[in-house]
Structure formats: C-alpha cells, structure tokens
C-alpha cells in the first residue's frame, strides 16, 4: 500500500516506517525535524521536510495518492502546551485538520492516529482506565488530542474512510529523545551515561504505564487491517518513578545518584491503561516487560552516546 507517515523521522514514527517498509509498503514521510532526527529516517522512504500545517502539502497528496495516512507528527510536550497553548493548538489541532481535509479530498482508505492515553483521561478515581472512562484532560495537549479524535470520527463518517485511534500510554525505547516528561526513561539514561545526577520531580511515587516502542509498532501494523475503533495501547501495569531508578540500577549495574525536586503543577499522578479491548478486537497485547525494555533502551544509548548529547 501507499502510506504517508507524518512524524516519520521521530521516535515512534521512524520505527513504524521501518516496519511498514519491511512489509513491502511504499512509505512517504512528512516531518519538519523540529523533534525528529534525519538519522532516524529509513532510506527506503521518500522524505519531505515540511510542516503539516501548511497548505502546500496538498502537492504531496496529489502526487502519491495515499491509501493510508498514519499521523504521528505532533507537538509532544505537555508543559509546552501549558506555556504556549496557541502553538500547541496550531500543530496538534489545525495540523491534524489539514491532513484530514486532504485525506478526504484525495480519498484515502484509512486514517491512523497517535492519541494519548496518558493526557486525555485526567485523574480518574479507579484503575485501570478503559476507553469508556470520561475524558477530563488536565492540559491543552490533552484537549487537542480529544479534539482531533472527534474530527477524525466526523471526517471518517462524512467521507467514508476507516480510522484507528491508538491511545498510547508512556512509550519508551531506542531513539527516544531525552526531552519532556514523557521521556523520563531516556532522560535518566542520558544522565546516567554522562555521570550526572538523576532528578525526580516530587516524591517519585507518580505511577505510569510504560509500553515499549516495539509493542506500539505492532499495534500500528495491526491497525492497517482493523475495524474503525479507538484502542488503549498500554500494559495494565503501573511503575513508579522510584521503581524506574531501581530497575536502572540493576540494568546498568551502577550506583545511581538522584535527587528529588518540587513536583510539576498539573502533572497527572497516576495512569494505568486497560488494553483488553485491543486484545479482543485488534489481537494486540504487550510482550516486552519493563525491565527487558529498559535494558534494550540502555544498550541502544550505550552504543551511541552522541545520540543523547
């Protein structure tokens, strides 16, 4: 198939591009390289350095006649969305709407979207979180993800294409940039490899659901043939920041120095996703444990320190 992957030079997107090319698909990548890295890009993909918000990307749709759009390009930092909600909305809402408009105009068959299971549910009172939980975001980033989900469902109904919305928990693994709160594992690994102190916001008891990037890629492969649906992509396992430090001590065989700092205002304290719907309807489940995934991630950065400088 002819597939467009937006954000295909980024952390998650580049792994998806690799997998789609390996399957024999024709892959085109649009990425403005604001957070992506050209070194991540598979040479088998055709690349356009472009902003998803600009109208000029219509020429790319016109030329390649995509059957699938896999949308991973985004403003990825919750804190940036708090500091600059207009910028967040421009990229994450208007950029997505530009892609949807072109997808409708050029009659794509399927739209796959990377949403956030960590930002859209807010602070629920029970866990794990299912797709039916109320959507009560605590940040403009979460609001933008919900808005895009709704636009996708409306456009799919109006213009007769399929869609798959994947609500990721905290994704980690090789190629993740050590920036932003979602990249805590790569941030810690960077600090460890540079013999720096690790900084923990708050008491470190914040709990997240960490899913390895290879498992996320598999969800994007299965999404090529799925029914139109919305799925949580997580592990149903909570891991605290303090737990991460202990796992990293074992994996790296180092005595890690760390320090607690004040908590970040507005940060979600606990997030654990129920993936039973994905297991039932997408035939997906996580396969990589947090310890094995951290070991793979550490080995990647250990073998190429320039990638984390």
What whole-number distance in Å separates Cα of residue 260 and Cα of residue 242? 10
Angle at 137 between CA 227 and CA 147, to 5 degrees: 50
Angle at 240 between CA 239 and CA 244, to 5 degrees: 85
Active site residue 275: no
Dig out the tokens for 214 from the structure: 């290879």
What whole-number distance in Å separates Cα of residue 15 and Cα of residue 9? 9
Closest to 28 in 3D by CA, of 55, 61, 51: 61
Dig out the tokens for 126 from the structure: 């029970």
What whole-number distance in Å separates Cα of residue 44 and Cα of residue 31? 15
Q: CA 199, 75, 142, 131: dihedral to nearest 10 degrees?
A: -100
What whole-number distance in Å separates Cα of residue 27 and Cα of residue 17? 7
- Choosing from 141, 172, 210, 298, the catalytic residue is 141
Please give the positions annotated as active site. Answer: 141
């Amino acid at each position: 198939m002819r597939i467009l992957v937006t954000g295909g030079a980024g952390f998650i997107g580049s792994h998806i591009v690799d997998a789609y090319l390996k399957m024999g698909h024709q892959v085109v990548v649009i990425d403005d390289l604001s957070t992506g890295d050209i070194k991540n890009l598979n040479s088998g993909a055709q690349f356009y350095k472009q902003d998803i918000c600009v109208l000029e990307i219509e020429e790319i749709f016109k030329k390649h006649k995509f059957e699938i759009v896999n949308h991973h390009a985004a403003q990825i930092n919750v804190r940036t969305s708090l500091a600059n909600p207009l910028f967040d909305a421009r990229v994450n809402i208007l950029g997505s709407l530009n892609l949807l408009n072109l997808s409708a105009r050029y009659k794509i068959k399927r739209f796959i979207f990377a949403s956030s299971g960590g930002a859209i549910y807010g602070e629920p009172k029970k866990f794990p979180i299912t797709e039916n939980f109320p959507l009560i975001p605590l940040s403009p980033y979460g609001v933008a993800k919900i808005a895009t989900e709704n636009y996708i469902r409306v456009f799919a109904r109006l213009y007769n294409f399929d869609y798959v919305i994947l609500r990721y928990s905290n994704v980690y693994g090789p190629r993740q940039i050590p920036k932003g709160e979602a990249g805590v594992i790569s941030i810690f690994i960077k600090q460890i490899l540079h013999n720096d102190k690790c900084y923990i916001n708050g008491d470190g008891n914040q709990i997240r659901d960490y899913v390895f990037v290879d498992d996320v890629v598999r969800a994007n492969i299965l999404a090529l043939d799925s029914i139109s649906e919305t799925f949580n992509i997580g592990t149903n396992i909570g891991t605290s920041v303090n737990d991460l430090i202990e796992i990293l001590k074992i994996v790296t065989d180092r005595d890690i120095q760390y320090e607690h700092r004040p908590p970040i205002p507005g940060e979600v304290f606990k997030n654990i996703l129920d993936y039973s719907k994905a297991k039932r309807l997408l035939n997906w489940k996580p396969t990589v444990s947090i310890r094995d995934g951290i070991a793979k991630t550490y080995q990647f950065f250990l073998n190429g320190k320039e990638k984390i400088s």
